[in-house]
Structure 1
């Protein structure tokens, strides 16, 4: 049963703080994905100027993901200890400097270096967002806010093709990177001025009880040993391996879709830019639908864990089901419709995965577990551009690369299905996982 709460505890001030936090996460997340997408939008212009092969471009596209993935290992624990306000502000500044540097590089090696720093700088965004939602929303009502902050990912990706293509045509690809870097400093200032951690706000006892949701593991900062103990749980490893496939296929579309539309489907830069907007806008809708659907499934199943997990697994199977026909059909319109459905479901899966983090993690380790899951995902995200680039180079077609992506996401769906079975204990005794809990029950 869902834990009953007094409506009076959800005060106007608390709602305002929740809305402000979510709005800022959408702002920072949209910029985050505009910056991530910039290289794929400028793919053709950069390859032409720097004389790069598709394989080399795959390496450049993946450089971000490798550093981003490795940075996920410590960043969740850092966020849990020092809280999102400080860590995300620093992250935005670092990634903005790196983004601007991408417009100034003159060599392939320097470009890789700038992308590596970009990955480190962007690493706090989604673990911090998961922690913000965990801090400000009760456990069984985190699906919708998780969907909202995840919606920034496809929103930024959808805006990138038309917006950045126009900047490239008007000014050039180097200027595009510099403009995005400057924008990041303004966003960092807005985040720092407007966001507050719950500990920095004089909440009423009933307000704090509402958002704490009866959690017994309290506000104490997690120790390093507790972070390491997460690796002793089968649930942790299943989430790492499960997210691998989800991000692999999603990142394949994110990094190669504009080039796929140009190379495989014969579209020019402007047409491919606006065509690529469609799947990523569908992904934006997918995030919003997934947030509502995730909370509905929690109420329907009576289990926070099962409601979140079933959504993830179903969406990942659907990603594979639409990817294959999208690769094989002759019609550009039908292919774009299938790709749009796959990207829609990729974002549904992403929302479910991040909501699943707060369903199984102790409340003081939400960012830590989120970072570990994201580490697994972006190992897949790092491999996808490289594998795709070399497969297309070798075969002359994107079809085998998309088939590999469909196979990987299917395997990872089974990992989530059978591997994520119970929440993680919120104490030092991690010898056994806990049994599943009814929706709204504390994880202790």
Structure 2
């Protein structure tokens, strides 16, 4: 038994920490989606004097700092571990979320959203670093599926919860409650996670985790393929987080509470599909199927089904529009855990999982910046939601093609020591 295996938590604590990571991600996504509900409220946009383009810029503010800190946070968790960096980031984003409810000027609102993004930048690199170190290949799909369930449940409940709190109280109190209640998560995190856990600190045996130069990572076509796929996948997801509430209220004339209901079912659909499809993929891998081929098949199928969002954009029927809104986002769940398992675990050497996850998540963050801004601009210039949703269709097709062509073992990041041994 290696020193690293000895450092791993026992089975019960390992799965408990995984669930806790999922809950942390859920709280993070509630914090980032609540702005979409506020921006669907006329009184909120009027108070801050926001146009459609202005709404897009405010929705994207979170992702400017989030994107800038992804690679640094990946380096931090690979070097210093998961436990304390995650705890510090968690406290920061919860306090900043609460502070949104205290802002009376647009400039202050933008600043606290930037701080929220900075705090949440730790979430993805830390989570995938921990999962990669604690789960085998034939468990990694379901592990990522459980973790991603938290992100999707957060997205599912974030909008309706925010809408309910706005209707029941006010938009300032909505931000304050969501921010402060989340802090209760810290106690079990500090109790369960140990600095000595594998994946919660520098690898104990550096010879088993050879250094991979950053240049080698960025030379990998597979990494660039994952960057494109992350962007395309998340462009649709972040459109749904930031603009779908306004689309349902303004274009489909739903009430704020009914809008929250359909947002909930859309994101719960993607969560459940992601969990089931990741379990099926794990079972196929366990029975001897090639993990790369299996997971690529699920990813491509997810992108293809998600393309049905264009049917919802072009119909005049409210019922059909709502049907395709749920089906398209739910179908994307086939790609959710499988593309992340493939791009951040299966094809990535363990010693740089945090760093590579940070690199890949920059494209996720860029999608969070581009989707709300481009949607706002297209809506304002075209006068409707058809043009923004046509852009989504284009990116989904690009994601499917990139997965088919670029996600190959031969193009994964190169470990220098492995190359030397082959040539010896």
TM-score by length of 1: 0.85
Alignment partners' CA distance in 2, 1:77 and 1:223: 15
Partner of 2:310, secondary structure, is helix
- Conservation of the 8 A alpha-carbon contact between 2:245 and 2:263: yes
| Structure 1 position 336 matched with structure 2 position 332 | no
Residues in 1 aligned to 2:62 and 2:114: alpha-carbon distance in whole angstroms: 5
The answer to whether 1:296 aligns with 2:283 is yes
**Which residues of 2 match residues 6-405 of structure 1 at below 5 A?**
14-45=10-41, 46-196=44-194, 199=197, 226-299=213-286, 302-320=289-307, 322-356=308-342, 357-405=344-392
Query: Whole-Å Cα distance in 1 between the matches of residues 421 and 232 of structure 2?
Result: 26
How far did residue 189 of structure 1 move?
3.0
Q: What does the per-residue CA deviation read over 1:318-351, in whole Å, with 9 as the maximum and x for residues that have no partner?
A: 212x111111122222222211122113333221
CA–CA separation in structure 1 for the residues paired with 2:52 and 2:358: 30
Partners of 1:245 and 1:200 lie apart in 2 by 32
Label 1:369 to 1:217 Cα distance change in 2 as closer, same or farther (>3 A): farther
Q: Tell me if structure 1 keeps the 8 A contact 2:144–2:340.
A: yes
Looking at structure 2, the residues matched to 42 and 297 of structure 1 have their Cα atoms a distance apart, in angstroms, of 43
For structure 2, the residue ranges without an aligned partner over 5 or more in a row are none
Separation in 2, partners of 1:287, 1:119: 25
User: For the structure 1 residues 423 and 195, does the alpha-carbon distance in structure 2 shift closer, same or farther, using more than 3 Å as the test?
Assistant: farther
C-alpha distance 57-226 of structure 1, shift in aligned 2 (>3 A):
same
Q: 1:111 to 1:430 in 2, by over 3 A?
A: farther
Aligned equivalents of 1:229, 1:101: Cα separation in 2: 41
Unmatched 5+ residue regions in structure 1?
A: 1-8, 202-215, 436-444
Change (3 A) 1:284 1:433: farther
Deviations 1:181-219 (A, max 9, x none): 212322223312222355379xxxxxxxxxxxxxx9955
Cα distance in 1 for partners of 2:261, 2:412 equals 47
Tell me if the contact between 2:81 and 2:195 (Cα under 8 Å) persists in the aligned partners: yes
Alignment: residue pair count: 410
CA contact (8 A) 2:22 2:146 kept: yes
CA distance in 1, matches of 2:141, 2:165: 36
Tell me, yes or no, if the aligned pair for 1:354 and 1:370 is still in contact at 8 Å.
no
- C-alpha RMSD of matched pairs (Å): 2.8
Distance 1:25 1:387, change over 3 A: same
Q: In 2, Cα distance between the equivalents of 1:113 and 1:14?
A: 42
Q: Distance in 1 between matches of 2:13 and 2:89?
A: 22
Asked whether the 8 Å contact 1:79–1:367 carries over to 2, the reply is yes
Change (3 A) 1:371 1:339: same
Confirm or deny: 8 A CA contact 2:146 2:275 kept in the other structure.
Answer: yes
Given that 2:89 and 2:122 are in contact with CA atoms closer than 8 Å, whether structure 1 keeps it comes out as yes
Question: 2: distance between equivalents of 1:430 and 1:75?
Answer: 26
Alpha-carbon distance in 2 for matches of 1:402, 1:301? 39
Alignment check: 8 A CA contact 1:248 1:405 kept = yes
In structure 1, how many angstroms separate the alpha carbons of the residues matched to 2:399 and 2:417? 25
Structure 1 position 403, deviation (Å)? 0.7
Q: 1:88 to 1:433 in 2, by over 3 A?
A: farther
Q: CA deviation at 1:300?
A: 5.9
Question: Aligned partners of 2:420 and 2:391: how far apart in 1?
Answer: 33
Q: Contact 1:241/1:415 (CA < 8 Å) preserved in 2?
A: yes
* Cα pair 1:248 1:378 within 8 Å, conserved: no
Distance 1:263 1:425, change over 3 A: closer
CA contact (8 A) 1:80 1:221 kept: no
Tell me the distance in 1 between the aligned counterparts of 2:371 and 2:386.
14
After superposition, give the CA deviation of every residue in 1:131-167 in whole Å (9 maximum; x if it has no partner). Answer: 2211211122200010010011121111123322121
Partner Cα separation in structure 1 for residue 390 and residue 417 of structure 2: 39
